[in-house]
Structure 1
């Protein structure tokens, strides 16, 4: 099992971590110097002399890029490792927990293992706020319940290295992208409890709870924005057609959905679920999307009839129906249509 440590302007704690890893028998320790500069060269030189493999970025590229550099190095060298455990350089991850995550990965090789911190007691506001914001948005959009989306202690299986180096994101948003792409890669997300360590009120962390959380949940909210755009088009056309042809419910539902679904398809394909090499899969995406659209259309009509039959205002019935079907649409598109 390899250990990968992305490091930006680290202090002596990274030396301590490497020493303890070597003492425990780890022999493949990669440290990525993410553009720390000449002032920190002595630390990385010492790590190399200790036996760590040190990779260097000439300028700071972000944690995501550093992780991808390490994964690409493992791929290029073709090492027979079962996976890699990523750990932070700021002393927050204990060697015993690195081992715990590594063992869990060996037991569940089709998984991404997350070292789950318990946020209780005197937790620095920076960590509590950042994790709460990101966790809430991630769980809302993904439909997966993860307690610690920001943990840097992760076990990544070797079978996924080639896919993980191709994921978008160079900074902290990369770690959220890994979680979002897990299902597409047929990987389950597994959490194991680890000890929560904070040093100097987490001041060593380069994660900005609000700026970097925005980078993260901006990605998660894109699908919601796309759906909201389509909802606006759909609702306007539904209103217009129902006014022009009152009493013809099917025409309002079908006409509005034909236009709004095409808008939604193009935005989702080009922006939300965009992937390399998808150009040749246009027909597959169209078939999958509109098969889903037919189902959503039937459900839309049926639910509106149901709710309006129960006495709800027609437009309120329409709004409630759209909210319910939003979750169904996202899940199916992510897992099946644009996979």
Structure 2
């Protein structure tokens, strides 16, 4: 079991699945930080039952804020070399995390990003979701200065140095675009690795809606104009 890798899992109303997700992670990695973003179900109790560190937001702040809170908690843990951002709904695979860790250790990159559009396509992804994601990828590549094949994949691995420096200010789903801007601004080295996202009936029911892509685009443009 590795103790030098910390998982950060943002959680909002994932009580049905989050305990199983945490337990599967903790079979291989001891350090798991789950940020309960003011869930209205029993997510907090399920996080504790799974054995993760539980950090509670007093109000719902969004996934970006939950990630930043988790990263800040990881900064206090001794012996951490790498941080993994991991979804709570069971879509991400630990096999992909292992590959990404191999890549970041072998190549010495600052960040390794998962891509659904390299190699095997996402299992069960709807045509409409694929279209929305492709549009979001094109927009992010045009505005961020970082060219990727999958710009809104929540599976990432980065070094402790990046964790110590990163500051995500966008609280909601637009944090994914902000992370790309942080990569460009800080000149972090990065690469993509093919990953397989498993879309179940449960995850599809909770998945990102098309309107979120519009909100992401608006927030990104507003942030650029405000500079």
Residues 54-81 of structure 1: per-residue CA shift (max 9 Å, x gap): 1111221100000000111122x25221
Secondary structure of the equivalent of 2:9? strand
2:198 and 2:38 map into 1 onto residues whose CA distance is 26
Q: Which residue of the other structure, out of 140, 143, 146, is the alignment partner of 1:144?
A: 146
Match of residue 56 from structure 1:
56
Deviates more, 1:154-163 or 1:62-71: 154-163
Match of residue 86 from structure 1:
85
Q: Displacement, 1:130?
A: 2.8
Q: Displacement, 1:191?
A: 0.5
Structure 2 spans left out of the alignment, 5+ residues: none
1:44 and 1:168 map into 2 onto residues whose CA distance is 25
Residues 100 and 219 of structure 1, relative CA distance in 2, 3 Å threshold: same
Q: Displacement, 1:190?
A: 1.0
1:7 and 1:206 map into 2 onto residues whose CA distance is 13
> May I ask how many residue pairs the two structures share in their alignment?
220
TM score, norm. by length of structure 1: 0.59
Q: Displacement, 1:143?
A: 4.0
Residues 197 and 182 of structure 1, relative CA distance in 2, 3 Å threshold: same
Match of residue 26 from structure 2:
22
Secondary structure of the equivalent of 2:22? helix
TM score, norm. by length of structure 2: 0.86
Q: Displacement, 1:201?
A: 7.3
Bigger helix share: 1
1:131 and 1:69 map into 2 onto residues whose CA distance is 26
- Which is higher, the Rg of structure 1 or of structure 2? 1
Match of residue 189 from structure 1:
190
- Say whether residues 1:160 and 2:162 are aligned partners: yes
Bigger strand share: 2
For CA contacts below 8 A with separation 6 or more, give which structure has more relative contact order: 2
Contact 1:10 1:90 in 2 (8 A): yes
Contact 1:36 1:60 in 2 (8 A): yes
Match of residue 34 from structure 1:
37
1:146 and 1:54 map into 2 onto residues whose CA distance is 32
Structure 1 spans left out of the alignment, 5+ residues: 227-270, 273-339
Contact 1:85 1:102 in 2 (8 A): no
Q: Which residue of the other structure, out of 10, 25, 33, is the alignment partner of 1:6?
A: 10
Residues 40 and 126 of structure 1, relative CA distance in 2, 3 Å threshold: farther
Residues 222 and 33 of structure 1, relative CA distance in 2, 3 Å threshold: closer
Contact 1:82 1:106 in 2 (8 A): no
Match of residue 102 from structure 2:
103
Match of residue 255 from structure 1:
none
